[in-house]
Amino acid sequence: MRDFYGTTLANGLMLGTAQYPSPAILADAFARSTASVATVSLRRESGRNRGGQDFWKLVQGLGVHILPNTAGCHSVKEAVTTAHMAREVFDTKWIKLEVIGEEDTLQPDVFGLVEAARILSEDGFQVFPYTTEDLVVADKLLQAGCEVLMPWGAPIGSGLGLNNLFGLRAMRAHFPDVPLVIDAGLGLPSQAAQAMEMGFDAVLLNTAVAKAGDPAAMAAAFAMAVSAGQLAHTADPMEPRDMAAPSTPVIGKAFLE
């Protein structure tokens, strides 16, 4: 596994903590997933009146790295303020940075994202920016201090998978040494496997597991898919062909006259 700000993860599965039917199901899903990272929204926690302390204890008990996020923030000021609060509450430099620019698709506001990333990086945060697959934006995020990029696969919660294969492959090829995480839009384990086969370092998902009929079983399925995709990528898979190629050698074959 590639390092994320100096931290080597046990595997490439990052899992959200929202929308589960119950805390027990959330804990079971994480156990089955063997996920290495849990994303947590500040809205699930309160540093002043100790609201949400049971949830925080549950998350701490998962034994994974915590990645707070700025979910739902629509401006630079809101995202930066939320990030500072999250660092105080969760005691981590990691922050998944979201600056939403469009309501229907929840597409990132890439201009605000770059500005917020620069502010937070200069303030000592280790920023995981939720972005698009745009190469120019990606380069500006790296210049702003980010060492990880998290391009979307599809709109958050849509389950559409990897909408722009060309763009995602181009990003992987353009930034070979940067940790890349597919964030948002995955609905099936096969889509996670596809991302890992393409050489991405991790996938982050929430709805596909939390809203499944059996979240724990779906979490286990994603765990196997991520592992299979990563193994397939490292095995150096064959390139696609335009023409057929016989799998059985013809040398030594008997010919009848």
pLDDT for 241 equals: 86
How many CB atoms sit inside 10 A of residue 96's CB? 26
Q: Contacts by 4-8 with C-beta closer than 8 Å and gap 24+?
A: 4/128, 4/147, 4/148, 4/179, 5/93, 5/94, 5/126, 5/147, 5/148, 7/65
Strands 150-151 and 126-131: parallel
Closest by CA to 6, choosing from 205, 233, 179, 183, is 179
Q: Is residue 135 part of a domain?
A: yes
CATH code at position 100 = 3.20.20.70
Task: Please state, in angstroms and as integers, the Cα–Cα distance from residue 73 to each residue in 61, 106, 180, following that order.
Answer: 27, 10, 22
CB-CB contact of 83 with 95 (8 Å)? yes
Answer whether residue 116 is part of any domain. Answer: yes
Give the integer Cα–Cα distance in Å for 149 and 134. 11
230's tokens: 């990563």
Calculated CA dihedral for residues 165, 153, 236, 225, nearest 10 degrees: -140
- Cα–Cα distances in angstroms (integers) from residue 74 to residues 80, 82, 110, 113, 230, in the given order: 11, 11, 11, 10, 34
The count of structural domains within the chain is: 1
Residue among 96, 140, 211, 253 flagged as catalytic: 96
Does the residue 107 lie in any domain? yes
pLDDT reported for residue 62? 85
* 248 domain-assigned: no
Does any domain span residue 53?
A: yes
Q: What is the pLDDT of residue 47?
A: 47
**pLDDT number for residue 45:** 46
Binding-site sequence positions for 1-deoxy-D-xylulose 5-phosphate: 157, 184-185, 206-207
Q: Which domain covers residue 183, as residue numbers? A: 13-235
96 is catalytic: yes
Distance separating alpha carbons of residues 29 and 96, to the nearest angstrom: 21
Whether residue 257 is contained in a domain is answered as no
Instruction: Say what the pLDDT of residue 190 is.
Output: 97
CA atoms within 13 A on the CB side of 31: 9
pLDDT given at position 53 = 66
Residue 230 lies in a domain: yes
Positions in the chain short of pLDDT 50: 44-50
What is the pLDDT, as a whole number, of residue 44?
A: 46
Q: Give the 3-state secondary structure percentages of the chain, helix then strand then coil, rounded to 5.
A: 40, 15, 45
Residue 171 three-state SS: helix
Specify the pTM: 0.90
Task: Decide if 250 is inside a domain.
Answer: no
pLDDT at 240: 87
